[in-house]
A = this chain, B = another copy of it.
């Protein structure tokens, strides 16, 4: 493993430890379903983004950990709901049966419903200026709502053959990009970055968010289930519109790489402090799971 891969592993270990602590302990059906759907591996991209951006300056560990957990809880709840029979009807997630198969549909819906407010509660617990807290809460809520993640999922379900690349981009920006951007912004706010630098993180986030999604579509085609933890070809089997189906696999790869380069370009004013974010841009488009 490279030094950077080791760093990512450290961040994953760190957020996994924190998640163990912030999730309610087992003992009831709902808490079991919550833990099952969160403590199951996962790339932890959003927490990693919180750690990387909050390390651009000074920030308390408690603030980083709680924020990293909060964005991951929002992400995990969205995965549970996306996998439901009335949506993607997936049976495998991170190598395990999806929540509605392990438990049942009602429990899966409710586990997602309970993870969402827990994310907001965690932000309330951070020991920072109240003003920063409400700013973070407001950004997180907006990224999760009808103009962000949920809006993107609705567009995803409605996609048909006539979709343009621009419409696909907007769908992905809402569904994935907004929460990725917000994770970076939260880290920036926690470490008291100046507004112009937070704006850079925002632009960077838009690029790597889209690159990440395109790479996900490529992985669906190229990575065997044993590597990705999802059913290989599940997008294709569901006739989902993806980058590769729309513009072909080669152009998808070249678009992802171009976005990663543009993302790195945006970070120039942050000089060597942002080296890890540069490495992350490369990681996003080179991963195979």
Residues of A within 8 A of B (CB): 24, 28-31, 34, 78, 81, 84, 86-87, 104-107, 109-110, 112-114, 116-118, 120-121, 124-125, 129-131, 133-134, 137-138, 140-142, 144-147, 150-151, 153-154, 157-158
Contacts and interface: CB of A to CB of B under 8 A. Distances in A.
> Copies per complex?
2
Contacts of A140: 117
Contact of A118 (B110, B141, B154): B141
A84 to B, nearest CB: 7
Given A24-B147, A144-B117, A146-B118, A109 B86 contact: yes
Contacts of A146: 24, 28, 30-31, 34, 114, 118
A137 B158 contact: no
A147 B110 CA distance: 12
A124 B114 contact: no
Given A84-B109, A117-B145, 17 more contacts: A28-B146, A30-B154, A81-B110, A86-B105, A86-B109, A114-B145, A116-B116, A120-B120, A120-B137, A120-B138, A121-B142, A121-B145, A124-B138, A130-B130, A130-B133, A130-B134, A134-B134
